[in-house]
Amino acid sequence: MDYIQDRNSNILFGLHDSKIEKITFKDNVLTLHLNKIFQYTEDEEKIYSGEVLFYGCDLDECSVMIFNRTVYEGDFSGKAVSLQDYIKKYSNVEFEILTEGYFGYCTTYTGWIWEEGKKPVSGIMYIWNNGDMVYHIN
């Protein structure tokens, strides 16, 4: 059976241009602390700060691909790390979300990883959860 993406459905919030400033994990809840969460209505764009919570998150199924430069600028290489290792080793960086994708139990963010004093590099974050995804607006 074929399923066609409904491109006319309204998405309540968007994370394009948001920066993940911190990631925490407790009691199977992964929390992305964001500098901006965008809400699009017919009349305006509203900007909030807040968090995105992923309930029922399995860190063993989550990962981050980190490249050595921004892609589309020649040859590049990189590495894959578990999200748990990323949380520990890359606590001093920000992940700027350029595109977001929601596929069943998997959420994918592609973007740039910013480390102070360095040029950004591309990154892809994969989050697996079987519970709700909740936008917490401050």
* Average pLDDT over every residue of 27-34: 96
Q: What is the predicted pLDDT for the residue at 132? A: 84
Q: What is the predicted pLDDT for the residue at 77? A: 82
Task: Return the CA Rg of the chain.
Answer: 15
Q: Which stretch of DSSP H or E encloses residue 83?
A: helix 83-89
* Cα separations in angstroms, 62 against 41, 48, 120, 128: 32, 26, 22, 6
Residue 14 burial (CB count, 10 A): 15
Q: For the segment 56-67, what is each residue's pLDDT rounded down to a tens digit?
A: 999 999 999 999
